[in-house]
Each structure stands twice: as C-alpha cells, then as structure tokens.
C-alpha cells in the first residue's frame, strides 16, 4: 500500500555498499519519475545514473551529509550508496515550476526504491561546480538534486515532535536514526 511505502520512506544515510544496485534498477526508478506529473507537461527533467564504484566515490565527495549530525562526516567506507540518480533541469525547457517537478520526481524515485527493498536520500547540499566538472555536465543542464540509492543498513524511526518543538533528527547510542514529525493536529489549520 502507498501509505506503508510513505511511512517506510525515510532518508537513509547508511547502506550496505556491497549490495549492487544495477543500472537497470536505476532506469526503472527513473521511469517512475518519467511517468509522474509535470507542470504544463513540459517534462524539463533529465537524469544521470551511476552505479559504478569509481564514479560513485567521486559523486560522494560532492555531497553534504546530515547537517544536524555535526560530529558525523557521512557514511564510512562499506556504508556508502551503491547508486546515484542526479536530477537535472533542462534550462531550454525550464519553467517557474521546475522545482515542483523535481520534488515529484524525487518522491516517485524514493517510493519506487522502497517498493524494491531499497532506500535513498535526497541531497540539495551539493558542490554543483565540482559535480558538474566530474560528470562533464552540459551547461544547458542545471543540477537540481542528487538521490543516493542502496540497500538500507540503518534503522530509522518516526517520533512525534516534543513540547520543545525540536524537529532535528538525531541518533541514539545504538545508532538508530530518530526523525521527529509534527502531529497531524498541529498542521491542519482548518477542516471545513
């Protein structure tokens, strides 16, 4: 069910790096994005797929991992993603709603990954210049988002935001990743 996929779809930051994510799997995930809604049906998104260890290491070096976990520089060797999907915006087809398209596509990819027993993490904290140079990205394509994909190697739990209203995710002593979410009654303004 879609509700189960959404509940299970948490940002995963530690993976079983030895579990291969095939190019075919990445293509299947991008196909879900392709079939998703697009503002004015302009379809301005393009994708770069990567599942090779050498290129993955280069992409990894361009990403900012878990800003709230100040003492954690990112997953160690053996816990890094086995694949990446880079979402690009074609500036020749761009429109003011390209960010909406990117979000919809990203969520479609992550839900598809969960359905396959995989997990992912969306990155907006990207060294755009370095990644563009590494991947030799055409100037007409703008890097919008990077999605790391792999077999999850961590447990992520949802909690209710406490009375202190702190929404920062955190890890406990057992390495469980806790993600506070606001209560439904706190986000519905009115029910007419």
At 95 the pLDDT is 82
Q: What is the 8-class DSSP label of residue 182?
A: -
One domain, residues 87 and 9: yes
Rounded to two decimals, what is the model's pTM?
Answer: 0.93
Residues 80 and 116 in one domain: yes
- What's the pLDDT at 45? 96
Note the pLDDT tens digit of each residue in 54-105.
999 999 999 999 888 888 889 999 999 999 999 999 998 868 899 999 999 9
What is the C-alpha to C-alpha distance for residues 3 and 9, in angstroms, rounded to an integer?
10
CATH number of the CATH domain containing 100: 3.40.109.10
Closest CA to 90 of 135, 140, 131: 140
Q: What is the pLDDT of residue 133?
A: 97
Q: Are residues 59 and 128 in the same domain?
A: yes
CATH number at residue 184: 2.20.180.10
CA dihedral (32, 35, 40, 43) positive or negative? positive
How much is the pLDDT for 94? 66
Residues 73 and 147 occupy one common structural domain: yes
Rounded Cα gap, residues 86 and 77, in angstroms: 21
Distance from C-alpha of 133 to C-alpha of 110, rounded to nearest angstrom: 26
Whole-number pLDDT of residue 128: 97
Same domain, 175 and 138: no
* Sheet (strand 156-160) strand order: 156-160, 177-181, 170-171
Query: Do 170 and 106 have their domain in common?
Result: no
Residue 39 belongs to domain spanning: 2-154
Q: Are residues 116 and 162 in the same domain?
A: no
Number of domains in the chain: 2
Do 112 and 42 share a structural domain? yes
What pLDDT is recorded for position 119? 97
pLDDT digits (tens, 9 = 90+) for 115-138: 999 999 999 999 999 999 999 999
Contact criterion met (CB below 8 Å) for 27 and 85: no
């Amino acid at each position: 069910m879609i509700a189960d996929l959404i509940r299970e779809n948490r940002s995963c930051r530690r993976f079983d790096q030895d579990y291969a994510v095939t190019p075919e799997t990445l293509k299947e995930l991008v196909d879900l994005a392709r079939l998703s809604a697009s503002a004015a049906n302009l379809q301005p998104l393009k994708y770069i797929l990567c599942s090779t260890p050498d290129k993955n290491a280069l992409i990894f070096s361009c990403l900012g991992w878990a800003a709230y976990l100040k003492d954690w520089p990112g997953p160690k060797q053996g816990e890094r993603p086995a694949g990446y999907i880079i979402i690009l915006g074609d500036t020749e087809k761009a429109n003011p709603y390209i960010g909406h398209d990117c979000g919809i596509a990203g969520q479609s990819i992550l839900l598809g990954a969960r359905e396959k027993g995989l997990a992912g993490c969306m990155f907006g904290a990207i060294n755009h210049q370095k990644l563009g140079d590494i991947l030799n990205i055409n100037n007409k394509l703008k890097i919008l988002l990077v999605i790391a994909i792999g077999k999850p190697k961590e447990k992520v739990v949802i909690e209710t935001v406490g009375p202190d209203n702190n929404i920062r995710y955190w890890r406990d002593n057992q390495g469980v990743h806790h993600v506070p979410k606001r209560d439904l009654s706190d986000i519905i303004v009115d029910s007419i």
